[in-house]
Amino acid sequence: MFTRHTKVRERVKPKILWASTALVLCLGLQFFLFNAAPASAQNLADPNSELKQGLAVIQEPLGLGAGDIRLIVARIIRIALGLLGIVLLVLILYAGYLWMTAGGNEEKIAEAKKLITNAVIGLAIILSAYAIVGFIFKILGVGSGTGGGIGGPNTQNFSGSGALGGIVKDHYPYRDQKDVPRNTKIIITFRQPILLDSFVVDINKNGILGDCINVGPTMNWKTDCDALKNINDTHINVVNAAAGQSILGANILASYESVANATGTKVFTIVIRPYDYLGSSEEKIPYLVRLGKDIRLDDPANNNPSAFNKGALGNDFYQWKFTCSTELDTKPPIVNNTWPGAGATDYKNTVIQIDFSEAMDPTGIQGMFATSSNAFAVGTNNIAVKQSGNTTMPTGNFKITNGYRTLEFTPDKPCGTNACGGTIYCLPVCDVPNNTCNLDKNNHKQDLYEMLVKAGVPFNSNAFEAIPFSGVMDASGNGLDSKPFGQVNFATSALPIFPTWQVPDNYAWNFTIIDDIDLTPPYLQQIAPGLDAQFVAATDPWEMLFSKRLRVDPLYNIVVTEHPTPVERGDNIPLCKVPRASFRVNGTTVARMEHCPFLDGLRQYYFPIISSDIEDAHFNCFYPGLGPGGRPDKVGNHWTEQGAQSLRQSLVCDAENREECCAVTSTPESRSFCCNGLADPQIASSSPQCVSALITDSPL
């Protein structure tokens, strides 16, 4: 009995071991197959789908599917692998049942072992197949194949013609912005003037589109202000993405601008004010804004074509998303800084900049100076300037830029040429005949400029929303605050500026302009990612540090070349991008390019090009191409470990580290520039030659 009993116990041990192993394999198989394969992959035909990554969606009138064929194949393969996994699970459970109930029967035990062995082999084959399929999916740009849902092609998360930076120059709220106040306005700026009557109704019947009548405390938004014509996907649609419902209605306010070599004014920027607050006070709600094909350009010579050319861009719309918070914005904006600064002395070839703490409503603050009662003003005295009687009115335009945070006045009086052959423009200073201006220490004439920014006027003492066109206000309608750093205190100020406007919330400062020109060009001090950076994450920052204060509007001209190109990739959608400038107290500027995620579904190369279009606040072009260069950590054609790590941030190029700089020393006429850290006029004489050399890995 003892000996036989011993044999029975010896058989029980492997039975328990095999059963435990089978259980672990079953649980692992179930977790891997079912958790890795998403159960709710979205269809591209859904207007709120995360998978609608810039693809042209065909709306099927019969309700037929419009999904990407790659995603359909991916789902079929994953479902098939999942079914095979279920079969293996059943086989392993059945084998375990046979073994546990064998009662020492050698034939049943052998049969159970054989089933388990075959099941394990089948599991290995399935896992290998899954890994191969995942790898192929990744190459095709259909997610990673390892869980987390199927991403859209190359993981772009925007939709529409040309992306941001194409016909759509900028917008607010920003792409994927979170916690947007419920009382926000939606602001859109186009690169070309748009035809308002293609999407605006003249509600107030005054013959002017995008305006209000009876402007004042008793104004009625729904009857006194013009409105959005059709709220649908072919005009302008603002959709509650959670409920799938469009807003009930909205006003349209237009910001008219003067255009060079054109009669009258044109509209590039519109403001959409929903009748009702967006979102909910209970939960955060996502919204989708869609601009459709029925928005037309103001271009009579070409029969006012659609702003979104399907033939050229592959689709006929542009859309983006943002998420509303549960709160209303009742906090007023402030002035962060100005250029020239309060009390500063600057050259006459300067722009005037007012940098705000948040996005501002552009209506009523863009345009040209006109003669006012005792000064020169924009709008209803919303932005005003005053000099002595020795200086004439500045001519030029105010434009809101930098994500609607910087108001920039650009004079239009030519006064010189920069190093690139471009025109330098100047403010007037002591240009009245027989003037009696003061002189600076270098015998240059000078005059005092006094500036005032008028705060938007609230509807009443209990309201936080300002009356439209009544002054400076943020995108939620809050009028300007009077307590920012550097603001002039009217109670103690000796300024003789606009005595009747010396009221709380208005902002004033002064500066001196001298009759001299600054010709020092700006240069790049640092960039990120650095030269030849690799494995850049999809959302890594793309930043450039410039040595001087910059004009903001030219930053929109920064381009990036991609390889493979969008056409070669097959999606025809370039990287969307938009600049954001931050001004440092030391006079430098950080230019950050907000961008859609860099592609991580394949190996993608990016070649940013900063041309002489970039100018400082004195109209000096970015030239010659002085910027980060030097490669001290590269040995031959290979980076050292330390050098590879340093690629995330470039070396610093400044007065103390000129050995780290790429300095183009050729004459301005050659137009050569710094090509990936090296100055070689033969290769870098044009951006196409430079990019071609980088793509083909030619020696520079």
Torsion angle of C-alpha atoms 547, 553, 555, 561, degrees rounded to 10: -160
* 436-472 pLDDT, tens digit each: 899 988 999 999 998 889 899 898 878 788 999 889 9
What pLDDT sits at residue 151?
Answer: 31
Say how many CA atoms lie within 13 Å of 45 toward its Cβ: 12
- Residues 136 and 145: their CA atoms lie apart, in Å, by 8
> What's the pTM value of the predicted model, to 2 decimals?
0.75
Q: What angle do CA 331, 336, 337 make, to 5 degrees?
A: 155
Run of H or E residues at 339: strand 335-339
pLDDT tens profile 85-119: 788 788 888 888 888 887 778 887 888 888 888 88
Residue 529: asked if its preceding bond is cis (omega within 30°), the reply is yes
CB contact set of 40 (below 8 Å; sequence gap of 6+): 149
What are the residue boundaries of the structural domains of the chain, listed by start? 2-155, 161-324, 338-514, 524-695
CATH tag for 161-324 (out of 1.20.1560.10, 3.40.50.300, 3.10.20.600, 2.60.40.1220)? 2.60.40.1220
CA angle 398, 208, 275 (to 5 degrees): 85
Is the CB of residue 53 less than 8 Å from the CB of residue 71?
Answer: no
Strand boundaries in 519-575, DSSP class E: 524-528, 543-546, 559-563
Q: Which residue stretches of the chain have pLDDT < 70?
A: 1-72, 74-75, 134-163, 260-262, 311-314, 373-374, 482-502, 601-602, 624, 630-647, 665-672, 680-685, 697-700
Provide the 8-state DSSP code for 14.
Answer: H
Nearest residue to 288 via CA among 328, 263, 324, 316: 324
Closest CA to 657 of 621, 625, 630: 630
Residue 209 exposure: Cα atoms within 13 Å on the Cβ side:
15
Tokens found for residue 254: 């237009």
